[in-house]
Chain A
């Protein structure tokens, strides 16, 4: 009996989630009205329970077993796939001066004809528009370039730090690890703002450089791409350090002794043994920096200048300045497609590493 109650509750939840997902995808603005006042959610739940009662008990057990496996996927569905499909749907819509600022929206009240009209209203116009204006592809290209260069720089800064941490006395390591993670306790936005104070013409950096006599004129760093690079490297450094540190710390010290014993100098042992063995950490760290840096919006808009072209900024402007949701969504969808390549490569790397360890 208890099992049946559990199963019923589970089915009800699943029914509710599926229904909510369907409503959201079709028409996010109507979530409140549709779900709660019209009571269709209740109908969906009752339908799911009814279906369960009618089913023979063996099939019910099958569904229960399946549900346990399937539940985790609901999180993926709810947190990733549903939002993506919403964005995809908007990107296929047309701009309109209304709430929501696009058309078509699905009206289930008109029945089959309404669904037909809805799908007839979707097209790829916005994606075509992205190819007509060179602003977009230039922004994508420049984003890839900035993300790539800052990934390389983060690696150059992060690797020695990770190496130093992994070679530090064991009792120091937790402290050092803490110091790397510590900045996360402060708001990301505040940390980027503080860089404005450091990098501006009258900022601390220029003051120190002038005072020590390195320069006589203040440097213009803020509102240039240099500031963007500094900001990205600073922000994403922990994501680079942690996986490299993890791979270096796991390394058996006797491997280096063996390399030395076989005729390597300390330096060549580093290049022949340490670097190849931390490869998985380097790759993981690089993707963890590259992927978010590609769509970065806050850093270029705060530290970059008017000439800093990054796709995250373009997206923001389409959304909030032009209020062109469909084009903004199309920009986001293309960005996601660009990101899929590195994400797949990243997954491959993780997989390979697991296999090598297994």
Chain B
């Protein structure tokens, strides 16, 4: 690891900016957040990722002050924020609907929070000008929100929430309303702005690609719980559960029974198929049910059986998803198990070696897949 790597969560000395301590939030009988404890560090870009209804928005609204935890405490810079109302918190939020004030101009929208702080007029003007420049909106200061495009509105909302230089900026599905192309550009813009301002960002999203792109750490949530919180690369390569593996990216999950063998495990998954081999840090007892998660790009697809790899299975191509640069092949094994394999389309279409109904060999190394308990 290089010296400049930004990983405060691995540094026992680092003091977290936000600490959730055994936080539970219930709405009536429904538990939205279930006894969660975790830290967010200064200058982090922290993503809460999960399907709708998993509690990620509730988490964010508790940080903003619109909800209070039923149990547990949330500390911001070491201070319990439960008694502080939203208008007194050094936290600002960018709303999913942007919530721009329709009767105010772009300039007045951005100046709104500064005016509430009773800043001097020239200071407000300087700060708004700075924000307009940061978000490249200089030309649109006098427009009303309905007179600008969706992407511009998104930037106004961002500028408005950044204007007060909050310690923590919350972004609730900030790019949800933008089309795919604009969303990509804006993701990089967001990262740029986050780096420039050094503000801690917490982003809520259901779009895994977005979370992976922008965040320094991603917390995958399900049913009021954080299942795994780690860097995008570790989440992708080392998911701690079948749920996370399945939620992030494309994956094939093979259920089987593990038997210790050498420095790894033999996995029996179907009657007339050879055992698979995988290495794992987790200890399995003989005969324990296990799940092998393999990413499609880790597979090699070939016409002949390769002899250099420990895992090789034969199947028939059922489906081909052509993505342009890549193709994903769905290969069905004789037992009915479907395995996804991806190959780069390095050749022109006519020269492709495989097509539907072809019998192919899929092979992978002992470390390509992740062996999981559940």
- Which residues does A use to contact B, with CB under 8 Å? 252, 254-255, 257-265, 268, 272-273, 276-277, 279, 356
Task: List A contacts of B96 (CB < 8 A).
Answer: 254
Asked if B160 and A252 make an inter-chain contact with CB atoms under 8 angstroms apart, the answer reads no
Complex Cα gap A264–B113 (Å): 8
B113 touches A252 (CB 8 A): no
B positions within 8 Å CB-CB of A:
64-66, 85-88, 91-93, 95-97, 99, 101-103, 112-113, 116-117, 144, 146, 160-161, 164
Contact of A254 among B65, B99, B102 (CB under 8 A): B99
In the complex, which of the residues A252, A260, A272 contacts B87, with contact meaning CB atoms closer than 8 Å? A260
CA distance A144 to B154 in the complex (A): 47
Q: Which residues of the other chain, A, contact B91 by a CB distance below 8 angstroms?
A: 261
B278 to chain A, nearest CB (A): 48
Contact between chains at A261 and B87 (CB < 8 Å): yes
Residue of B nearest to A277 (CB): B103
Q: Decide if A255 touches B87 in the complex (CB within 8 Å).
A: no
Q: When chains A and B are docked, how far (Å) is the Cα of A267 from the Cα of B146?
A: 26
- The answer to whether A257 touches B146, judged by C-beta atoms less than 8 angstroms apart, is no
Give the contacting residue for A262; candidates B66, B85, B144, B164; CB below 8 A.
B164
| Contact, CB under 8 Å: A262 / B95 | no
A262 touches B113 (CB 8 A): yes
Minimal Cβ-Cβ distance residue in B for A251: B102
With a 10 A CB-CB cut-off, give which of A255, A258, A263, A265 has the most chain B CB atoms: A258
- Hey, which chain B residues are within 8 Å of A259, CB to CB? 101, 112
Q: Is the CB of B116 within 8 A of A262?
A: yes
Give min CB distance, A252 to chain B, whole Å: 6
Given contacts A262-B112, A263-B87, A264-B87, contact A257 B95 (CB under 8 A): yes
A356–B164 Cα distance when bound, in Å, is 29
Q: How far is the CA of A254 from the CA of B157 in the complex (A)?
A: 13
Contact B102 A265, beta carbon cutoff 8 Å: no
Q: Do B95 and A254 touch (CB < 8 A)?
A: yes
For A256, give the chain B residue with the smallest CB separation: B99
Task: Enumerate chain A residues within 8 angstroms of B93, measured Cβ to Cβ.
Answer: 257-258, 261
B113: chain A residues within 8 A (beta carbon): 262-263
Determine how close the nearest CB of chain B comes to the CB of A291; give it in whole angstroms: 25
In the bound complex, residues from chain A placing their C-beta under 8 Å from that of B95 are 254, 257-258
| Contact assessment for A262 and B160 in the assembled complex, using a CB-CB cutoff below 8 Å | yes
Residues of A within 8 A of B102 (CB): 277, 356
CA distance A311 to B253 in the complex (A): 85
Which single residue of chain B is at the shortest CB-CB distance from A255? B99
Measured in the bound complex, the distance between the Cα atoms of B97 and A102 in whole Å is: 66
* Residue contact A260 to B99, C-beta cutoff 8 Å: no
Contact indicator A273/B87 (Cβ below 8 Å): no
Which residue from B99, B117, B146 sits with its C-beta under 8 Å from A356? Answer: B146
B116 in contact with A264 (CB, 8 Å): yes
- Other than the given A252-B97, A260-B86, A261-B92, 8 more pairs (CB < 8 A) read A260-B85, A261-B91, A261-B161, A262-B87, A263-B87, A268-B116, A277-B102, A279-B103
21 residue pairs from A and B, CB less than 8 Å apart: A252-B97, A252-B99, A254-B99, A257-B66, A257-B93, A257-B95, A261-B65, A261-B87, A261-B91, A261-B161, A262-B87, A262-B92, A262-B113, A262-B161, A262-B164, A263-B116, A265-B87, A268-B116, A273-B101, A279-B103, A356-B102
Of chain A, the residue at the smallest CB distance from B157 is A258
7 closest pairs, A vs B, by CB? A262-B113, A263-B116, A258-B99, A254-B99, A276-B103, A260-B86, A263-B87
CA distance A268 to B87 in the complex (A): 11
Given contacts A254-B95, A254-B99, A277-B103, contact A261 B64 (CB under 8 A): yes
Residues of B within 8 A of A279 (CB): 103
In the bound complex, CA of A269 to CA of B350 (Å): 65
Contacts of A273 in B (CB 8 A): 101
CB distance from B27 to the nearest CB of A (A): 15
**Which of chain A's residues have a CB closer than 8 A to the CB of B160?**
262
CB-CB under 8 A from A272, the residues of chain B are 112
| In the complex with contacts A254-B95, A268-B116, A356-B146, A261-B86 CB distance below 8 A | yes
When the two chains form their complex, are residues A254 and B86 in contact, meaning their CB atoms are under 8 A apart?
no
- Which of chain B's residues has its CB closest to A263's CB? B116
Give chain A residues whose Cβ lies under 8 Å from the Cβ of B64: 257, 261
Candidate in A255, A257, A260, A263 with the most chain B CB atoms within 10 angstroms: A263
Smallest Cβ-Cβ distance to B104: which chain A residue: A276
Instruction: Considering the complex, give the chain B residue whose CB is closest to the CB of A258.
Output: B99
* Cα A264 to Cα B87 with chains together (Å): 6
Give the residue name and chain of the B residue nearest to A253 (CB). B99
Most buried by B among A262, A277, A356: A262
What residues of chain A lie closer than 8 Å to B85, measured between beta carbons? Answer: 260
Q: Within the complex, what minimum Cβ distance (angstroms) separates B145 from chain A?
A: 10
Q: Known: A262-B112, A262-B164, A263-B87. Contact between A257 and B103, CB under 8 A?
A: no
CB distance from B365 to the nearest CB of A (A): 50
Residues of A contacting B86 with CB < 8 Å? 257, 260-261
Nearest residue in B to A275 (C-beta to C-beta)? B103
Report A213 CB to chain B, min CB distance, Å.
43
Q: Which of B99, B160, B161 has the most CB of A within 10 A?
A: B99
A contact residues around B97 at 8 Å (CB): 252, 254
Report chain A residues within 8 Å CB of B88.
Answer: 263
Q: How far is the CA of A279 from the CA of B144 in the complex (A)?
A: 16
